[in-house]
Amino acid sequence: MNLFKQTRYLIISVAVLTGAAFMGGVYAGHANYSPIDSLFSLSGKQALASTTSADFAPFWKVWDVINEKYVTPNKVTDQEKVWGAISGLAKSLGDPYTVFMPPEEAKSFETEISGNFEGVGMEVGIRDEMLTVIAPLKGNPAEKAGIKAGDKIIKIDDTVASDLSVDKAVLLIRGPKGTAVTLTLIREGKSGSFEVKVMRDVITIPTIDKELRKDGIYVIQLYNFSAVSPNLFNKAISDFVKTKSNKLILDLRGNPGGYLDASVDMASWFVPKGKVIVREDFGGKQEENIYRSDGRYTFGNTFKMIVLVDEGSASASEILAGALQEHGIAKLVGTKTFGKGSVQELVKITPDTNLKITIAKWLTPNGKSISEGGLTPDYEVKMSEDDIKADKDLQMDKAVELLK
């Protein structure tokens, strides 16, 4: 996907070997830029003093003490210490999606977003300060191995995951087809931790399934918000109209998101023209962006709609579901969504390092921050491991009950 497309992308996390797209980065500097030279120059220190009231004396004292007393002073280069300091600066913000990438990580990340499609096929993020599976992609190795949305990853092979950024975890999980990775997981409702061995493969990204049930209810299951998903969704809606059914279930369970434009396009089928679909809040640094329906508003009040959501519904899924819920167009059934409602920009710091930084938050039409707890369904329906093993879909059953 093009890094510099005008289309905006909601960065949920780095897709584990499924490819991802990001807002265009900003390049500053030139090929000979050396941050270590700038840091230690007199002008560099003076610049720090003049731009902040923070006391940098402790930093320089620690630097000198390390160089003077550390038992193996040459184990880490001065430049690597600088990268570590910058990483710590980014981490101090307490935002798991703001991450500094030193050269090796930056190179791997850029390879990832340019289209590396071998791996396990799942999205991961940080939830409750733990590395968490947002959603395994249907038909791919992670799903086939039994990994589920909401699973907490505590080890990747022999590496403890508690101190890993999302991007670093991705580097460990991904790999070429035919190789294996062992994930140690904990799952709500299951005692203790357990291991899952996943054989990496070429990743296929599903988009949409549709079905007219025997009871006259039309079901659209959407797996992601890719560049092609609006056209496929439009065709599904056209098929729905042809059936003359007035009952629709939109299944967004396990959908980790994707393009913002895709979610706005789909919402416009249902939300009246000019009504707010989502707000982009920059925290007062600039005026918020408001995305409104383009007025396709095809159905009005002539039909009933249910949206299925769960902890694997994130980002663009939450934008679409939140708009439909707050405008009174659909009821949400399932469990609370993931709560990934922030926007990241990829910024070039030096020619071989990047900073992925959160620049805005997504708000629902009524101003609720999606990042703060996700969306709460109108009807909460949980499913146990036994329900899943017995092939019972209590959430779908509740949706059908409400529509009837």
The ranges of the chain with pLDDT < 50 are 1-35, 37-38, 41-43
User: What are the residue numbers of the active site?
Assistant: 315, 326, 340
Q: Compute the C-alpha angle 39/42/47, nearest 5°.
A: 70
Paired with 131 in beta bridges are 126
Identify the pLDDT of residue 301. 72
Identify the pLDDT of residue 334. 98
Cβ(258)–Cβ(315) below 8 Å? yes
Cβ(305)–Cβ(250) below 8 Å? yes
Identify the pLDDT of residue 378. 98
Question: What percent of the chain is modeled with pLDDT above 90?
Answer: 60
195 CA to centre of own chain: 24
Identify the pLDDT of residue 113. 56
Q: DSSP 3-state assignment of 251?
A: strand
Beta-carbon neighbour count of residue 368 at 10 Å?
18
Pair type for strands 379-380 and 353-363: unpaired
Identify the pLDDT of residue 187. 94
By the 10 Å C-beta count (0-12 exposed, 13-18 middle, 19+ buried), 374 is classed as: buried
Identify the pLDDT of residue 54. 84
Q: DSSP 3-state assignment of 99?
A: strand
Identify the pLDDT of residue 6. 32
Identify the pLDDT of residue 243. 94
Could you tell me if residue 107 is left (phi over 0), alpha (psi between -120 and 50 degrees) or otherwise beta?
alpha
First to last CA, the chain: 42
Cβ(131)–Cβ(166) below 8 Å? yes
